[in-house]
Amino acid sequence: MNILVITERRDAGWNPVSFEALAAAQQIAAQTQSSIAAVVIGKGVRALAEELAAYQLAQVVLVEHDLLDHYTPDGFTVALAQAITQAKPDLILMPHTYQVRDFAPKLAASLGKGMIGDCIGYRYENGRLIFVRQMFQGKTAADVTFSGASPWFASLQAGAFRGDQAARGASPVAITPVTVDLRPEQIRTVPLELFREAKQAVDLTQAPILVAIGRGIKAPENIPLAQKLAQLMGGELAASRPICDEGWLPMDRQIGSSGQTVSPKLYLALGISGAIQHVVGMKGSRTIVAINKDENAPIFEVADYGIVGDIFELIPALTEALEKK
Amino acid sequence: MPEREKLDADVLIVGAGPAGLACALHLARLIRRHNESGAKPELSAENIYVLEKARELGAHELSGAVMDPRGIAELVPDFAQAPPFDTPVIDDAVFFLKPERAYKLPITPPPLRNHGNYVISINKLVKWLGGLVEQAGVNVFTEFAGAQLIYEGDGIAGVITGDKGVDRSGKPKANFTPGYELRAKVTVLAEGPRGSLTKELVARKKLDGLNPQVYSIGVKELWEVPAGQVVPGFVAHTLGWPLDSSMYGGGWIYGLRENRVSLGLVTGLEYHNPRFDPREAFQEFKTHPLVRPILEGGHIIGYGAKTVPVGGWYSMPRTFVDGGLIVGDSASFLNSQRLKGIHLAIKTGMLAAETILEALRAGDASARTLAAFPRKVEQSWVAKELRGVRNFHQGFQHGLWRGLAHAAIQYVTGGRGLIDPMRMPAGYTEYHKLDGAGPAPPRMRGDGVLTFDRLTDIFYSGTRHTEDQPGHLLVADTNICVGRCVTEFGNPCQYFCPAAVYEMIEEKGVRRLKINASNCVHCKTCDVADPYQIITWVPPEGGGGPTYEGM
């Protein structure tokens, strides 16, 4: 059997999960008396190919093209399909990365083949390779195998194999360049800057001062009033659930049992009634100041200082006082 | 739509309550015996799948509960040694309540005698049963709801589980996982009262019984009180106040171990005043001189609500289709006179298991084979018990006094009563129209010690949902809510919902319905009690919902 590992780079270096796929390939090869080739794809990636050649495998396949400088699903699919047709592998192993999730189903389908995604292991039984993948959020594992003729595609979950166990070879193996026919019109997407998981815009748990608004704010147009007050106080804006539920503020500003739990030095609650769901998220605040027009509002039970009054009179008054300072 | 992963099972059970788990456990054992006998085809308990929408087994179960052990004794003969059965009933009483007085009935009427029964927590019961089911090799998948039925031919062929990781506008989020397509030879609907799949199947295949399904709502709190205020095994039921004599229902107070008290109020969802609030009525119940001293100095530790199918024998839908069975509360297997259904859920789950084994052996799960299920029910004590009270609930449609008189007549006539079968309309048709909406009564705030406002109670249900997901309370036409319903019924959703999910708000003169879906405790009252029947409850993302423990 011939195994082809598709590696993945990240900027100028490796995506380390590539070596997890290689380690898996080496384990499978040992059991099935297979040979391994590994693909390096991109532009100007010969150095990576040379690095890879030091590992225990039969050859490195180098797929280089000007149009492969940046990842595109079309470019990778077209180029890898040609490389696969030339290398004639039986099994193609890939790390289960966002990039692989993007192009691999398309690649497999373009060759009319099936793919088993996100495998956590494999078994070799009676001449048959069986892959194991999780279902129901890991509550059960399913055995999946291929039907039909090779090549077969499989991607491996990160961490399922140990990349540091990928064995090096005695001497560097050959690097086989593969020329691919790729034309600009085949690539229908324009890559933008690499996407990074958006980092939490605001970490309310670290803010020393929070100005929190509740239903009393009445309408989204009034939120800037509180926003300005928060700025002047050097604090962050937070809210109770109804505000975020309405979409007036993003959900990462929500305090309470279904939001964040905070304990700032000062918590100013504006027009928040103090339902227990909210209070459990802020009762640990060092000083709680509440403004509410309902003197029976439960927020006053946890407040250190309370004002029974209209927030639309008191917010401007506080803002003005702070501006004078 | 991405392609769904498909899985094939022999048997798929939707809902891990007493009925579904009894079915799974009994079937796993029947399969083991079948294989040991060398009979063909060889079967496996691993091909039984159970789906449960709760995060953990038992977390969505709610009941009083005083349990008749008849069912569990057949399923697990040495059950009495198991932890859920540590509190046998030692004393029972029935009271008739007036606002400031309680009149103890000199004798406890036979249906409310509980000697030999157990005060239990249904959460504990289901957790324990679930453990036995998993030990028997059955796959139980918590956090997965049956979202859609797979229809095939004249029947059903499995379910599609809910998609996960969808945002409120219906777009996939980073963690999107499409639901699984689970196909099975037999699909058992064990969803509890007002199952969302059951409701759809019954409507689509016209499986309705003679009477429509009718329900009550049970609102419950669990308290911990100072030692000595209640005896474990003490059972009291009440009639009358805070309900008026036109209403069906009553209260309960049960003593548990560790100084815990289970108490609640059941109200028939066929009352006339559209602004009646069952949760507030329960709060009032706690202030009665009979109840208050029991709770004095204690504190609430749990809250919950759930519908109870009280229609009985004549409300039962047809319980079988090609490839499908309906068991337990979903099929109205509940004795409304005793307000007990757990034993019937267990027994009907077991009878379904016996039917399924025959179907698997014969390789035929058509309606013709599965029709053995109602025949088995008919030959069992389930039918005997339910037939004996077949006109009980209907007798109360003209109020408490006539209902009680009728119950007595029924008792001596073996269930026949005055008219048999006695018909009854669906409860939502019983609201009296408001004479002009008028100002809504102020909402109860509670004293925060004995009585609570709605949000405080909901907090103690432990309910939690992923906030960013599509609504799971589908209102077909909100124009009715802001139009007709305002003047005709004053938006009863704001009152019957025990979890403050529905709220009519006015902003700059514009009225609209706001749905606080993440408060939902999955009781299904809205689906049942909405006067226009435009609310459809569908399961939210698996794992969401209340966290009932010790309830």
Contact at 8 Å (CB) between A67 and A182? yes
- Examine the pLDDT at A24 and tell me if it is beyond 90: yes
Residues of A in contact with B143 (CB under 8 A): 136-137
Q: Please, how many CA atoms are within 13 Å of residue A128, restricted to the half-sphere of its CB? A: 12
Tell me the mean pLDDT in the region A252-256: 92
Q: What is the pLDDT of residue B303?
A: 98
Residues B50 and B145 in one domain: yes
Q: What are B371-410's pLDDT values in tens digits? A: 999 999 999 999 999 999 999 999 999 899 999 999 989 8
Q: What are A256-265's pLDDT values in tens digits? A: 988 888 989 9
Chain-chain contact of A257 with B139 (C-beta, under 8 angstroms):
no
Q: What is the pLDDT of residue B435?
A: 75
Residues B302 and B352 in one domain: no
Q: What is the pLDDT of residue B38?
A: 94
Residues B21 and B105 in one domain: no
Q: Which two tokens stand for residue B59?
A: 């977390």
Helical packing angle, B342-362 and B18-36, nearest 10°: 40
Contact at 8 Å (CB) between B233 and B88? yes
- Examine the pLDDT at A251 and tell me if it is beyond 60: yes
- Least CA distance to B5: which residue of chain A? A135
Q: What is the DSSP letter of B213?
A: P
Residue B469 located in a structural domain: yes
Chain-chain contact of B507 with A219 (C-beta, under 8 angstroms):
yes
Q: Which region, left, alpha or beta, applies to residue B505 given φ > 0 means left and ψ of -120 to 50 means alpha?
A: beta
Domain count, chain B: 3
CA dist B447 and B455 (Å) reads: 13
- Examine the pLDDT at B370 and tell me if it is beyond 90: yes
Residues of B in contact with A296 (CB under 8 A): 445
Query: CA separation (Å) from A104 to A39, A47, A70, A98, A100?
Result: 14, 25, 16, 10, 5
Q: What are B266-318's pLDDT values in tens digits? A: 999 999 999 999 999 999 999 999 999 999 999 999 999 999 999 999 999 99
Chain-chain contact of A136 with B459 (C-beta, under 8 angstroms):
no
Q: What are B114-123's pLDDT values in tens digits? A: 999 999 999 9
Residues of B in contact with A142 (CB under 8 A): 7
By Cβ distance, the residue of A136, A244, A277 closest to B141 is: A136
CB pairs < 8 Å spanning A and B = 47
Scored b (16 or more CB within 10 A) or e, B497-519 reads: bbbbbbbbeeeeeeeebebbbbb
| Residue scoring higher pLDDT (B508 or B221) | B221
Chain-chain contact of B464 with A257 (C-beta, under 8 angstroms):
yes
Chain-chain contact of B143 with A244 (C-beta, under 8 angstroms):
no
Contact at 8 Å (CB) between B32 and B356? no
- Examine the pLDDT at A184 and tell me if it is beyond 70: yes
pLDDT, averaged across chain A: 93
Q: Which two tokens stand for residue B304?
A: 């919950």
Residues B91 and B46 in one domain: no
CATH of domain A204-324: 3.40.50.1220
Q: What is the pLDDT of residue A259?
A: 85
Residues B341 and B218 in one domain: no
- Least CA distance to B453: which residue of chain A? A275
Q: How confident is the model at residue A307 (pLDDT cuts 50, 70, 90)?
A: very high
By Cβ distance, the residue of A219, A244, A276 closest to B456 is: A276
What 3 state SS string does B358-396 have?
HHHHHCCCCHHHHCHHHHHHHHCHHHHHHHCCCCCHHHH
Q: What is the pLDDT of residue B418?
A: 87
Q: What is the pLDDT of residue A201?
A: 62
Q: Which of B52, B169, B461, B467 to mutate to test the interface with A (most CBs of A within 10 A)?
A: B467
By Cβ distance, the residue of A245, A251, A280 closest to B516 is: A245
Q: What is the pLDDT of residue A206?
A: 86
CATH code, domain carrying B493:
3.30.70.20
Q: What are B18-41's pLDDT values in tens digits? A: 999 999 999 999 999 999 999 999
CATH code, domain carrying B383:
3.50.50.60
Distance in Å from the first CA to the final CA of chain A: 79
- Examine the pLDDT at B169 and tell me if it is beyond 80: yes
CA dist B218 and A89 (Å) reads: 64
Q: What is the pLDDT of residue A198?
A: 55
Tell me the mean pLDDT in the region B534-541: 97
Tell me the mean pLDDT in the region A4-17: 92
Chain-chain contact of A244 with B467 (C-beta, under 8 angstroms):
yes
Q: What is the pLDDT of residue B382?
A: 98
Q: Which of B455, B465, B469 to mutate to test the interface with A (most CBs of A within 10 A)?
A: B455
Percent of the residues in chain B that have a pLDDT greater than 90, as a whole number: 89
**CATH class of the domain at A2-186:** alpha beta
Q: What are B465-490's pLDDT values in tens digits? A: 998 899 999 999 999 999 999 989 99
Q: What is the pLDDT of residue A200?
A: 53
Mapped onto helix, strand or coil, the DSSP state of residue B251 is: strand
- Least CA distance to B52: which residue of chain A? A136
By Cβ distance, the residue of B139, B467, B468 closest to A140 is: B139
Helical packing angle, B372-379 and B342-362, nearest 10°: 140
- Least CA distance to A116: which residue of chain B? B5
Tell me the mean pLDDT in the region B192-205: 97
Q: What is the pLDDT of residue A141?
A: 86
Residue B550 located in a structural domain: no
| Residues of B engaging A, defined by a Cβ cutoff of 8 Å | 5, 7, 139, 141-144, 177, 180, 445, 448, 453, 455-456, 458-459, 464-465, 467-468, 507-508, 516, 518
Mapped onto helix, strand or coil, the DSSP state of residue B190 is: coil
Tell me the mean pLDDT in the region A128-138: 89
The full set of domain ranges for chain A reads: 2-186, 204-324
- A175 forms beta bridges with A60
ipTM of the complex: 0.75
- The verdict on whether omega for the bond into residue A73 sits within 30 degrees of 0, i.e. cis, is no
Distance from CA of A180 to the nearest CA of B (A): 31
Q: What is the pLDDT of residue A203?
A: 81
Two domains, one topology: A2-186 and A204-324: yes
Question: Regarding beta strands B101-104 and A266-270, do their DSSP bridges make them parallel or antiparallel, or are they unpaired?
Answer: unpaired
- The verdict on whether omega for the bond into residue A239 sits within 30 degrees of 0, i.e. cis, is no
Query: CA separation (Å) from B27 to A112, A164, B110?
Result: 42, 47, 34
CA dist A23 and A7 (Å) reads: 12
The model carries a pTM of 0.87
Distance from CA of A315 to the nearest CA of B (A): 21
Q: What is the pLDDT of residue B499?
A: 97
Tell me the mean pLDDT in the region B177-185: 95
Residues B437 and B507 in one domain: yes
- The domain of B305 spans 85-117+213-309
Q: What is the pLDDT of residue B107?
A: 85
Q: Which two tokens stand for residue A151?
A: 């090549």
Q: What is the pLDDT of residue A66?
A: 95
Residues of A in contact with B177 (CB under 8 A): 137
Q: What is the full DSSP assignment across B413-467?
A: TTT--SSSSPP---GGGGPPPPSS--PPPPPP---SSSS--HHHHHHTTT-B--S
| Residues of A engaging B, defined by a Cβ cutoff of 8 Å | 135-137, 139-140, 142, 218-219, 241-242, 244-245, 251, 254, 257-258, 275-277, 280, 296, 298, 301
Residues of A in contact with B449 (CB under 8 A): none
Residue B434 located in a structural domain: yes
What 3 state SS string does B443-454 have?
CCCCCCCCCCCH
By Cβ distance, the residue of B139, B448, B459 closest to A257 is: B459
What is the rounded (10 degree) CA torsion for A128, A95, B172, B196? 30
Residue B264 located in a structural domain: yes
Q: How confident is the model at residue B2 (pLDDT cuts 50, 70, 90)?
A: low
Q: Classify burial at A11, counting beta carbons within 10 Å of its beta carbon; exposed 0-12, middle 13-18, buried 19 or more.
A: exposed
- Examine the pLDDT at B446 and tell me if it is beyond 60: yes
Residue B419 located in a structural domain: no
Residues of B in contact with A140 (CB under 8 A): 139, 141
Residues B437 and B532 in one domain: yes
By Cβ distance, the residue of B7, B455, B508 closest to A275 is: B455
- Least CA distance to A143: which residue of chain B? B7
Q: Which two tokens stand for residue B211?
A: 């009477």
Residues B228 and B199 in one domain: no
Percent of the residues in chain A that have a pLDDT greater than 90, as a whole number: 81
- Least CA distance to A142: which residue of chain B? B7
- Least CA distance to B51: which residue of chain A? A136
Q: What is the DSSP letter of B528?
A: H
- Examine the pLDDT at A197 and tell me if it is beyond 60: no
Which of B267, B260, B234, B11 has its CA nearest to residue B115? B234
By Cβ distance, the residue of B144, B467, B507 closest to A251 is: B467
Residue B272 located in a structural domain: yes
Distance from CA of B332 to the nearest CA of A (A): 30
Residues B152 and B222 in one domain: no
Query: CA separation (Å) from A25 to A16, A33, A37, A53?
Result: 15, 11, 9, 15
Residues B279 and B371 in one domain: no
Q: Which domain-ending residue is among B251, B283, B309?
A: B309
């966002």: which residue's tokens? A98
Residue B529 located in a structural domain: yes
Neighbours of B282 (CB within 10 A): 26
Chain-chain contact of A276 with B455 (C-beta, under 8 angstroms):
yes
Contact at 8 Å (CB) between B136 and B45? yes
What 3 state SS string does chain A have?
CEEEEECCEECCEECCHHHHHHHHHHHHHHHHCCEEEEEEEECCCHHHHHHHHCECCCEEEEEECHHHCCCCHHHHHHHHHHHHHHHCCCEEEEECCHHHHHHHHHHHHHCCCCEEEEEEEEEEECCEEEEEEEECCCCEEEEEECCCCCCEEEEECCCCCCHHHCCECCCCCEEEEECCCCCHHHCCCCCCCCCCCCCCCCCHHHCCEEEEECHHHCCHHHHHHHHHHHHHHCCEEEECHHHHHCCCCCHHHEECCCCECCCCCEEEEECCCCCHHHHHHHCCCCEEEEEECCCCCCHHHHCCEEEECCHHHHHHHHHHHHHHC
Tell me the mean pLDDT in the region B431-437: 81
Which of B18, B62, B17, B56 has its CA nearest to residue B524? B62
Q: What is the full DSSP assignment across B155-183?
A: EEEEEEEPPEEE-TTS-EEEEEEPPPEEE
Chain-chain contact of B459 with A135 (C-beta, under 8 angstroms):
no
Residue B549 located in a structural domain: no
Residues B529 and B443 in one domain: yes
Q: What is the pLDDT of residue A214?
A: 96
- Examine the pLDDT at B437 and tell me if it is beyond 60: no
> Residues B242, B245, B247, B252: is their CA dihedral positive or negative?
positive
Which of B263, B271, B267, B281 has its CA nearest to residue B443? B281
By Cβ distance, the residue of B141, B453, B518 closest to A139 is: B141
Residues B463 and B514 in one domain: yes
